[in-house]
Structure 1
Amino acid sequence: MTSATARGQGTFADPDAWHRPAAYWFWHEPPDPALIRRQVHEMYDAGIRSFQIQARLSYPREGYLDEDFLTACRLAVDTASGLGMVVGLYDDYNWQSGHAAGRAVSGHDELRERHLFWIRLAPGSRAGEVSGIRSATQSLGRVAMEWHYEGGNVAWTDWRCEYVVAGGVERDAASVQVDGRAQGCRVTLEDTAPADAEVVVFVSARCATSRLVNPMDPVAVDRFIAAGYEPFARALGDHFGSTVAYLFFDQPHAVFYDWAERTGQQRSAIPYHHSLGDALRKELADDLPRALTALLGGADTEARSLRTRFYDHFSRHAQETFLGRVRDWCHGHGLLVSGHEVLGHVGGWNLDTAFSHWDLRVNFGLDHFGVDGYRDLTAVDAQDAVDQLSPVFGDSVARHHGRSGTLVEQYFLTPPPGGTPWSGHWGLSLRELRATAMTHHLRGMRQMIFHGFYQTHGHGHDHESLANPRFDFPPGINFEPWFTGHHARFALESARVSEFLEPVRPRTHVAVLYPLRTVWSEGQCARQASELGQWAAGLSSAGVPFLLIDERDLAAAEARDGALRIGDRSFRALVLPATTTLRSSRTMDTLRDLLAAGVPVVASGPKPEVYEYGPQTAGTDWARLGASVTSLDTVPAAAELPGLFPAPAQELSVRAPSDSVPSDSALRVRAGTDGRGALRVALFATAGTGTEATVDLPPGDWIVEDWEPATGQRQTIGTASSTLTVALADQEVRLLRLHAAADAPGTGASGPAHVPSRFEGSSMTAATVLDSGWHLELPQEAHTSPGTSRPIAVTAGWEQQGLDTFAGIADYVREIPASGIPRHLELPAVAGAVEVLVDGMSVAAAGWPPYRFILPGRPSPGAERCELRVRVAPPAANRYYAGTGLRAGPEPCGLLAPPVLADAATESAMTNDDSESHHA
């Protein structure tokens, strides 16, 4: 079963539901039928053609999966089916798969999560304890504790001694007396331990109040599936495999726990079950005692190797126990599998950008390539409106498994300066959302799943994060004023970009090794975390195309003709970011073969010195590679990377003007070949003032096709050879497909080697700055006198003019002289999406720059003047944060600079300081 079996036959002009944006549909209370139908249609009309129903913490936990909930789900799916939409089955209550709102462990206390703790006894000591156990959930506040734990409190039971290791030798666990308590335990050695050896006692306990199952227990996972999945199968089963196409798991993991006496490299208790213990004894045999103590630390080669071996077996057991059972159930019910694990790199480039206070090695071993082997549709999450590693990593693991592209669950968490954590981002603009989506598309995203579409917009009488839906990862996109009138255009453009990129096999000059075994041996926050991030950010900024690869890729790689070839992927260089630990000498042999074939191998930071398996000769083997390896102490600056990894001659490449390094803040690029051998180039400008890209072409003449994402139209615009320059205005997206001229003889196409911006035109000779005479018309709910208006300045937003709590749609209105010819209107600065109307007739709308509009000639025959109306739909921040203390002050709304008007025949790039402009 593959993702292709579920996707439709979309086209560039009319993309299918798998490329159009999707949404989490947050349910905060049992919905009524009318609301369900209305909101499904609202999603459809806004261009969202796929959703997942997600019951949030404000939804009554006892109502999750009851008859009313499932009946409501059925109505939602039936409605979606009638519209040809796709539904994903979100697999739990709130996020974090593995509890079914506590239904999985209700009446089955033995299946609650169990963890392994350890107590280090100094030489000569005979007793110690585990105390002060702290759940990671505590950082989320009261409502989260009540979600995870019955009564909101953590209590432990069924303490057991699992292992006793003294001086690297295992001793009889029965020789330890365990005095268990709800908040910890005390252990006492009952025999005589070696006086000169540290003794490490490993004890396990079951969390008596946790609603989460033990993810390492196959019986517990089966129970979770029965309690959490089977009700959906009974209610929606006839839609499975059609409208309900896939199941989505979201961060399945046991809770992370720390405690007062914990020391060593391992920073969280380890989920445990006797089946894991049996597997470890089988795989590690006599090495198990030393491997257990190596978890706590040790910088010597043996300790690092044993630590790596432990996590190798741990991660495989965890994946098969949990994800393997989820996959089998889904495939048995005709569903594809998607979802994502906890990603330490979410929101940035470094591997430890997020969750650095947890030890994510206990979450499937941080083996993202391994996890993806259990999915049919790759998925990641992404935080905030920033460029980041997630879509690149998602696309990389998908291509490792013969797929391409990734779903990206997009949420917003980090507030602006002065904001309060968890208060989210009601200030999200459509421009910001679109820029984020386009960046993700060009980094490897197929479809954005927005987090989320809200059932309600919460309430104003309290401001508690998570409990009040208003502050549960806002924004609720459908409660943004710009959503209804403007989101559909963005959604269609996003889908067309995705369809355009779907068949592209991207250029991949550089392979960056994901140093999984170094993560296992050194810890997730060691140097490789930042080193990989610096490489990824630098290569992205420099426009050097790359993918992440896994050591399993190297095992299947070929080296020939100066390239590293892995399946249909080809690379001209390999980067090892602070990679200290490799699987075995076989990987070193592969590096030697690459160097012999002329493939550069570049290593930064610490170098390989540990093997997981085999004799510990890694340091010596690495030294034998000698000067043929490019060995660096640190990651080079982005400006140096094109010189380190030059684009292969006579191959497709994209660069900024004058061979300078493309600034990461100026240009996003994705380019490659499609299944017919044509070249595809996608460009997105984010410079603020526009930019230009130079496309270096393989030898020959190329027919250039322009694919317009806003309209879905395609047209041939000429031919090019050698190079093609493309001008882009700020926020402009260009999609170009080039095919060999020999493929289309007799087209008569000619020139241009330059593709102008769609917004270019002749120089301005005259312009009118509309800096006065404006009134602002407000809706009834924002004004004490309905139908009245107020004078308004257009040099600053309305939040600075007495409307600091208003964040709805409002109209800027003034008269302008009528004209017999079309004119251009430009809005230099806007906080919001806009619609322009002349004498009540809608002219055009825009949710992102450039805000340029062509106004018609005289709309009313004989009229000397006409009404110009600029309708602004801002973000909702000032409505929802007013009076909460969650923001330092109001956010901009409305027109922030005077509009400019000029004749269409003479004007395109309008500026307020032009010598011939005048004021009106």
Structure 2
Amino acid sequence: MPGKLMGGWIMTVWEQLEDPPSRYRPVPLWSWNERLDPDELIRQIEEMHHAGIGGFFMHARGGLQTPYMGDEWMEAVRLCIEKCQELGLEPWLYDENGWPSGFGDGRIPALGLEYQQKRLAVEYAPLDGRTEGTIALYMRTNQGFRLLGTEELDKADIRVYYEVNPCYIDTLSKQAVGAFIREIYDAYWERFGEAYGSVIRGVFTDEPQFARRQLPWSFELAAVFEQKCGYPLFAHLPALFIETEGCRKVRYDYWRCVTELFTEAYAKQISEWCGRRGWSATGHVVDEQTLMDQVTAVGDPLVFYEYLQIPGCDWLGRFVGDDPIVPKQVSSVARQLGKGQAITESFGCSGWNVSLQELRRIGEWQFVHGINLMCPHLQSYSLQGLRKRDYPPSIFYQQPWWPDYRLFNDYFARLSMLLGEGSRQAEVLLLHPARSAWVLQSGTDTSAIEPYHEAFAQLSRWLCQSLIGHDYGSEFIIERHGFVQEGRFWVGDAAYSVVIVPPSVTVGPRVSELLQQFVQKGVYVHIHNDKWPAGGLVMHGIRGEVSRIYCLADPEKKELAFRQSVDEGLDLHVLKVELPAEPADEHVTVIALEMAEEPDFDRTLTQLDGGRLQLDVPLASVTLVREDDEAAGIPALRQAEWTFKLVQPGTYELMLISFKRHDQDWPGLYPEPVVLETDGSCLVTDPAEEGEDPDSPSCQHPYIPIRSRLGRVTWLEPGIHTLTLRSSKLKDPSPKFTEIWHADEVKLRAVRLVRVQD
């Protein structure tokens, strides 16, 4: 087999490396922005061929004088297809006159309101009496908001309504997107399918979106929502704009439903249309850069990429990113689902004076992060008038370095071929926190998402800097293509030995179930979070079985990186990212837990601001001190013990952090004294409930975190110490639930030590 391989595939690649085939060569956006002349079209294609370009997207753009999709246009397309056949280039179609794709040169929104883009808006009392576009009216009550009838406008505190963008389409609607496909895609196929269907490579779709910095609405949404989620959306629309009880669940369900509608209506319909004809759908969505942008534009960009035969991204400007999120989102899906190629639209807005050296740097940075096909933006048919200011530069014959451009294209063609034919390796899967961003989106306010985005970006950036290959995992894609087998976490065709959950607010049940299976195989799941994900899915499912890693900070608040052995010959570097990073005090204490002779991270101890230390209850060691004596009415007695390393000795205030139901009246959290021992000192006390704790781990409705003060303990020496809590209310931790304290509906979650300042 090695001999056959050497004489076969490797030799074939080596022979092709000098002059890679068109499939791997850059394929630019060719801007058709003037009256199209057949002779000039032929001349420009020949220029591309001589410069080592592999094909082009025929892209209608501002300045076009030839009627779009008319007979003259179609004849120009036919002429270019035939010239590509002659020269061995690959012709691609582009599905719009301008961008974003979907409006079909204005013909689709012209069909009426059902086809036009709609966005949610809210009006607060006093209302001005308008009723146009009203979806629902609400009255504020002690329990939240009550849905009113349409005739009760005078009682309403909130009116939720929709606004209309008459220039774009409802991309959540299969009917509207279907009309777009019939108008543009079917027209191309009817004209060229029989004669040139096998010659045309595919279609580029550009920046589809559903709202962009607003909340999408569709006449189809409410019915689909109730069918998918089991409750009416109309009763809960205020939760999308206002922090109300249960608002996070409503937001999660809303954005999931919207994302699924968008993906199924747009990406899936277009992909399936192309697939049935042997074409490839390619392109990219809008606003891929940050979680703050993604939510209202596309929901989760990775699930959109799933349906494109060649998924892509957009990289504008003369710079490389501080983090790899944009290219890595695309390349992760391409690797997981066996796409083969991942394309980037690059170089737009980099300016007329950009150099080949700068273009190379931009391209190489993306190729390092998994992209393997280049789409230069752009090649302008004409620069007359304002056309020269169309997101320059035009990377075409107008450039003084055009005669040398072949070297550039040969170089990236070789990279594309090697990367496309090779198999990229990545052992680490970093969960993409798109769904956490959903529940944090409050109306149009994205501020709560920002620290989670920065934490995710910083973690990915640090993994790259440490040369740790990793992919992102979309929960949508994991739900459909994920499984655990032979100690590996699989997503489609890609297998991982380590999974990292970045700071998150929620993790879905299917992903939580797979993580549970994964850790039971004895492999690594790292959860990076100062507050455990809400909803109980990770917290109850895997908290006792994952390695939790905390931030150890130096006096300048700079996070420290650590090394942990993953396998006999493999070291994994891990970093905990703060959300947000706050100084503990003027002299930040570095705390680490020592376990036997093996150095490890602190799995029970975290440092809060102000020099406070917190011991997580579920990771304590619980032992039985006294058996239950039913005859004498004496309950069993258990104790929980923590071992930790104290760097800064002194006097500490001891507190218990518990969760209790807010909707019930409890006479007291702790009906009996609690015994705490440390270094031979014994403290017997009745905990005094102080009130709600603002710094507790996340807890879900209907529980609230309560802080109870115990007393003070003094440690005179630094080093290893133990803290023991003894009570009849302790129980043995179970694999399913993480609490070790149970007093009716009260759950002990942490012991906090607050250093008393000297």
Could you tell me the TM-score, scaled by structure 2's length? 0.66
Q: How far does residue 409 in structure 1 lie from its aligned partner after superposition?
A: 0.8
Letter in 2 for 1:212: Y
Between the aligned partners of 1:639 and 1:646, the Cα distance in structure 2 is 20
**Pair 1:206–1:443, CA change in 2 (3 A):** closer
Contact 2:80–2:91, Cα closer than 8 Å, also in 1 = no
**Pair 1:244–1:537, CA change in 2 (3 A):** same
Structure 1 counterpart SS, 2:122: strand
Q: How far does residue 605 in structure 1 lie from its aligned partner after superposition?
A: 4.2
Between the aligned partners of 1:620 and 1:647, the Cα distance in structure 2 is 25
**Pair 1:360–1:510, CA change in 2 (3 A):** closer
What is the CA deviation profile of residues 247-304 of structure 1, one whole-angstrom value per residue up to 9, with x for unaligned ones?
Answer: 1110112554xxxxxxxxxx5142x22211211122234352454222113276x321
Partner of 1:685: none
Partner of 1:469: 387
Contact 2:552–2:560, Cα closer than 8 Å, also in 1 = no
Partner of 1:63: 67
Equivalent residues in 2 for 1:540-689, closer than 5 Å = 540-552=464-476, 557=482, 563-584=488-509, 586-611=510-535, 616=536, 618-621=538-541, 623-625=543-545, 628-632=547-551, 641=561, 643-644=562-563
Partner of 2:202: 246
Between the aligned partners of 2:90 and 2:434, the Cα distance in structure 1 is 35
Partner of 1:34: 39
Q: How many residues align?
A: 547
Between the aligned partners of 1:320 and 1:337, the Cα distance in structure 2 is 14
Between the aligned partners of 2:364 and 2:227, the Cα distance in structure 1 is 49
Between the aligned partners of 1:375 and 1:501, the Cα distance in structure 2 is 19
| Percent of residue pairs bearing the same amino acid type | 21
Equivalent residues in 2 for 1:99-498, closer than 5 Å = 99-106=103-110, 108=112, 111-121=115-125, 125=126, 127-128=127-128, 159-166=132-139, 167=141, 168=144, 171-175=147-151, 189-190=153-154, 192=155, 199-207=157-165, 210-238=166-194, 240-254=196-210, 256=212, 268-270=214-216, 272-286=217-231, 288-289=233-234, 291-298=236-243, 302-345=246-289, 351-352=290-291, 360-365=294-299, 367-384=300-317, 385-387=319-321, 388-413=324-349, 424-459=350-385, 468-479=386-397, 481-498=399-416
Between the aligned partners of 2:380 and 2:528, the Cα distance in structure 1 is 46
Between the aligned partners of 2:378 and 2:129, the Cα distance in structure 1 is 44
Between the aligned partners of 2:149 and 2:266, the Cα distance in structure 1 is 28
Contact 1:99–1:212, Cα closer than 8 Å, also in 2 = yes
Between the aligned partners of 1:269 and 1:34, the Cα distance in structure 2 is 48
1:533 aligns with 2:457: yes
Contact 2:222–2:233, Cα closer than 8 Å, also in 1 = no
- Greater mean alpha carbon deviation, residues 324-333 or residues 307-316: 324-333
What is the CA deviation profile of residues 767-796 of structure 1, one whole-angstrom value per residue up to 9, with x for unaligned ones?
Answer: xxxxxxxxxxxxxxxxxxxxxxxxxxxxxx
Structure 2 counterpart SS, 1:92: strand
**Pair 1:447–1:483, CA change in 2 (3 A):** farther
Partner of 2:706: none
Q: How far does residue 27 in structure 1 lie from its aligned partner after superposition?
A: 1.4
Between the aligned partners of 2:567 and 2:116, the Cα distance in structure 1 is 56
**Pair 1:323–1:593, CA change in 2 (3 A):** closer
CA RMSD of aligned residues (A): 3.3
Structure 2 counterpart SS, 1:278: helix
Structure 1 counterpart SS, 2:19: coil
Between the aligned partners of 2:161 and 2:368, the Cα distance in structure 1 is 48
Contact 1:580–1:606, Cα closer than 8 Å, also in 2 = no
What is the CA deviation profile of residues 837-881 of structure 1, one whole-angstrom value per residue up to 9, with x for unaligned ones?
Answer: xxxxxxxxxxxxxxxxxxxxxxxxxxxxxxxxxxxxxxxxxxxxx
Between the aligned partners of 1:36 and 1:488, the Cα distance in structure 2 is 20
Between the aligned partners of 1:480 and 1:639, the Cα distance in structure 2 is 49
Q: How far does residue 119 in structure 1 lie from its aligned partner after superposition?
A: 1.9
Structure 2 counterpart SS, 1:22: coil
**Pair 1:276–1:489, CA change in 2 (3 A):** same
Between the aligned partners of 1:227 and 1:617, the Cα distance in structure 2 is 45
What is the CA deviation profile of residues 221-245 of structure 1, one whole-angstrom value per residue up to 9, with x for unaligned ones?
Answer: 2222232233322433245542211
Letter in 2 for 1:298: E
Q: How far does residue 396 in structure 1 lie from its aligned partner after superposition?
A: 0.2
Letter in 2 for 1:232: Y
Structure 2 counterpart SS, 1:159: coil
What is the CA deviation profile of residues 87-122 of structure 1, one whole-angstrom value per residue up to 9, with x for unaligned ones?
Answer: 22111011210112212234646533233222233x
Letter in 1 for 2:471: L
Partner of 2:80: 76
- Greater mean alpha carbon deviation, residues 86-95 or residues 278-287: 278-287
**Pair 1:623–1:602, CA change in 2 (3 A):** closer
Structure 1 counterpart SS, 2:16: coil
Between the aligned partners of 1:222 and 1:245, the Cα distance in structure 2 is 21
Between the aligned partners of 1:94 and 1:220, the Cα distance in structure 2 is 18
Between the aligned partners of 2:571 and 2:46, the Cα distance in structure 1 is 43
Q: How far does residue 175 in structure 1 lie from its aligned partner after superposition?
A: 2.1
**Pair 1:161–1:37, CA change in 2 (3 A):** same
Q: How far does residue 477 in structure 1 lie from its aligned partner after superposition?
A: 0.6
Between the aligned partners of 1:633 and 1:201, the Cα distance in structure 2 is 48
Contact 1:98–1:253, Cα closer than 8 Å, also in 2 = no
Between the aligned partners of 1:533 and 1:398, the Cα distance in structure 2 is 20
Partner of 2:26: 21
Q: How far does residue 83 in structure 1 lie from its aligned partner after superposition?
A: 1.1
Contact 1:161–1:173, Cα closer than 8 Å, also in 2 = no
What is the CA deviation profile of residues 620-666 of structure 1, one whole-angstrom value per residue up to 9, with x for unaligned ones?
Answer: 5565447x32244899999965x436685557999xxxxxxxxxxxx
Contact 1:564–1:599, Cα closer than 8 Å, also in 2 = no
**Pair 1:396–1:646, CA change in 2 (3 A):** farther
Structure 1 counterpart SS, 2:471: strand
Partner of 1:91: 95
Contact 1:23–1:52, Cα closer than 8 Å, also in 2 = yes
Between the aligned partners of 2:558 and 2:343, the Cα distance in structure 1 is 28
What is the CA deviation profile of residues 27-85 of structure 1, one whole-angstrom value per residue up to 9, with x for unaligned ones?
Answer: 1112211110010111111111110011212224x822222222222212221121111
Between the aligned partners of 1:229 and 1:637, the Cα distance in structure 2 is 55
**Pair 1:386–1:80, CA change in 2 (3 A):** same
What is the CA deviation profile of residues 185-210 of structure 1, one whole-angstrom value per residue up to 9, with x for unaligned ones?
Answer: xxxx15x45xxxxx432212434xx3
Contact 2:344–2:375, Cα closer than 8 Å, also in 1 = yes
Contact 2:20–2:414, Cα closer than 8 Å, also in 1 = yes
Letter in 1 for 2:327: P
Between the aligned partners of 2:338 and 2:384, the Cα distance in structure 1 is 43
Letter in 2 for 1:44: H
Between the aligned partners of 2:294 and 2:91, the Cα distance in structure 1 is 30
Contact 1:560–1:597, Cα closer than 8 Å, also in 2 = no
Q: How far does residue 553 in structure 1 lie from its aligned partner after superposition?
A: 5.7
Partner of 1:148: none
Contact 2:136–2:147, Cα closer than 8 Å, also in 1 = yes
Q: How far does residue 318 in structure 1 lie from its aligned partner after superposition?
A: 1.8
Between the aligned partners of 2:486 and 2:275, the Cα distance in structure 1 is 41
